[in-house]
Amino acid sequence: MSREIFSSEEFDFAADLRRRKLIDFLFSVAGMLSLMLALITLIALLVDLSSTGLMRLNADFFTNFPSRFPWRAGILSAWVGSLAVMFTTALCAIPLGVAAGIYLEEYARKSWFTLLIELNIINLAGIPSITFGLMALGLFVYRLNLGQSILTAGLTLGLLVLPIVIVTTREALRTVPRSVREAAYALGSTRWQTIWHHVLPYSSGGIMTGVIISLSRAIGETAPIITIGALTFIAFLPHAPLTGEPPFVSFQWLSDPFTVLPIQMFNWLSRPQPEFHVNAAATGLILLLLTLVMNAGAIWIRYRFRKKLKW
């Protein structure tokens, strides 16, 4: 009787093992097919944009202002505006997001209030970007009278990517073993000394990866930028941040009007002439390559930090 029970249990175990292996195999196949579909889509997009707009990628295209003549039009004001907006976004989102992530993970006590904050941060990460644009239009443009400026765009995109920076910072901090903190406390370090000298160096790779990925999302956003009034045609550059007279630093560029690469691309696509569509394809190719380079940089930084930690 006991032998029959043992053989029956052994048979059930073998069947369950085969079922689990089959599920793992099917999941692997589904994941590989999804990955191949995404790669094929990306390659098709690159090939289509390259075949259409690669002929326009020359020095004049980067150094000319937009024009009503398609062969003279360039993206000088667009890429300068994108750099200015991204710089402002980084200054607004990175310090605040990293500090908030450190506080929630290392200092905040677990309570209903912190749980409510965490839940709202997760929800904010999934809100459509147009909602941030409408909020910025009412708050920054009309209520605070910041106007349709680079500062308004930077604050808007900063709020857009802030939840992503907070979440990735917390996830990076969680990867640091608890034993590292306990060892630092045992040697007499304060909590801040432990975070600054031990936790942050170990988690900086993950934090930087999350920051770069969030900025690569922000650089391609169009809906919130259109909502706050980005110009579709601009033939001048913002004021220089550095001057030849004391105090040698100027913040006037923050209040200047602007345009960015997605807006310039949208403007050219709305034109009926096919020559402008070629310019839009070239701009889209630049934007896509820039996003891929930023994501590749994030992967490289994560790899380098992980390799350093192994040693």
pLDDT at 6: 47
- Share in percent of the chain as helix, strand, coil (round to 5): 75, 0, 25
Burial 46-81 (b: 16+ CB within 10 A, else e): eeebbebbeebeeeebeebbbeeebeebbbbbbbbb
- Are residue 37 and residue 97 in the same domain, yes or no? no
- Are residue 243 and residue 303 in the same domain, yes or no? yes
- Are residue 84 and residue 223 in the same domain, yes or no? yes
Count of domains in the chain? Answer: 2
Quickly count helices (H) and strands (E) in the chain.
12, 0
Whether residue 302 is predicted with pLDDT greater than 70 in this model: the reply is: yes
Question: Tokens 């170990």 sit at which residue?
Answer: 202
The pTM of this model reads 0.84
Q: Using an 8 Å Cβ cutoff, are 124 and 163 in contact?
A: yes
- Are residue 245 and residue 133 in the same domain, yes or no? yes
Retrieve residue 225's tokens: 């930028």
CATH number at residue 109: 1.10.3720.10
- Are residue 136 and residue 260 in the same domain, yes or no? yes
Three-state SS at 42: helix
pLDDT at 231: 78
Q: What is the pLDDT of residues 236-285, one digit of tens each?
A: 888 888 887 777 888 888 888 888 999 988 889 888 888 889 999 999 89
- Are residue 73 and residue 147 in the same domain, yes or no? yes
Q: Using an 8 Å Cβ cutoff, are 159 and 132 in contact?
A: yes
- Are residue 74 and residue 217 in the same domain, yes or no? yes
Q: What is the pLDDT of residues 63-75, one digit of tens each?
A: 999 888 888 888 9
- Are residue 163 and residue 246 in the same domain, yes or no? yes
Least confident span in 7-11, 211-215, 247-251, 283-287? 7-11
- Are residue 39 and residue 144 in the same domain, yes or no? no
The residue out of 21, 37, 53 marking a domain boundary is 53
- Are residue 128 and residue 253 in the same domain, yes or no? yes
Closest-CA residue to 268 (of 86, 42, 71): 71
- Are residue 165 and residue 47 in the same domain, yes or no? no
Q: Which domain holds residue 175?
A: 58-308
- Are residue 90 and residue 218 in the same domain, yes or no? yes
